[in-house]
Each structure stands twice: as C-alpha cells, then as structure tokens.
Amino acid sequence: MDFPTIHTNVWDAVIAVPSVLVLTQILKMLLKPPKPLVSFIALVIGVLISVYISHRGQLVAGLLMGWFYGY
C-alpha cells in the first residue's frame, strides 16, 4: 500500500485555514450554535474546502488535510 502524496502549498497556509476561521465565525454569529458544536462545524468546513477545492481528485489527502484545516 502506498501512502498518499500530500502537497502543502501557499493555498493551505494562507487561504484555506483563515477561510475556515472566517466561515466558522460567520456561522457562529448567524446561527448561534452550542459551544460543543462549533469545533464540529469548523471540521466540516475544513473537510469540504479540502476535498472539493484544495485536493480535488485525492480523497484520502483531502480528508487528512481537511482534518488539519478544521483543527
């Protein structure tokens, strides 16, 4: 079994992580979710950005990096 190749680039550090932070804060203001749910919301946003934008076509890499974006 080969491990997936994960490319970390400027997108990851400069755009994706701050995007997760900003979107999470906006959703906190609009929806006012309970505090334990906020980290789950950040994780879901991170995984969605990673799988559909950052690491398109590489599901395992997208899930792994999305987990890092969310946390």
Domain ranges of the chain: 10-70
Question: What is the pLDDT, as a whole number, of residue 8?
Answer: 64
Question: What is the pLDDT, as a whole number, of residue 16?
Answer: 86
Question: What is the pLDDT, as a whole number, of residue 7?
Answer: 63
For the chain, give the number of residues. 71
Q: How far is residue 42's CA from residue 24's CA, in Å, rounded to a whole number?
A: 6
| Of the candidates 35, 40, 60, 37, the residue with the CA atom closest to the CA atom of residue 50 | 60
Per-residue confidence in pLDDT tens, the chain, 71 aa: 777 766 666 777 788 889 999 999 999 999 999 999 999 999 999 999 989 988 888 899 889 888 888 88
pTM, two decimals, is: 0.81
Q: How far is residue 71's CA from residue 66's CA, in Å, rounded to a whole number?
A: 9
Question: What is the pLDDT, as a whole number, of residue 15?
Answer: 86
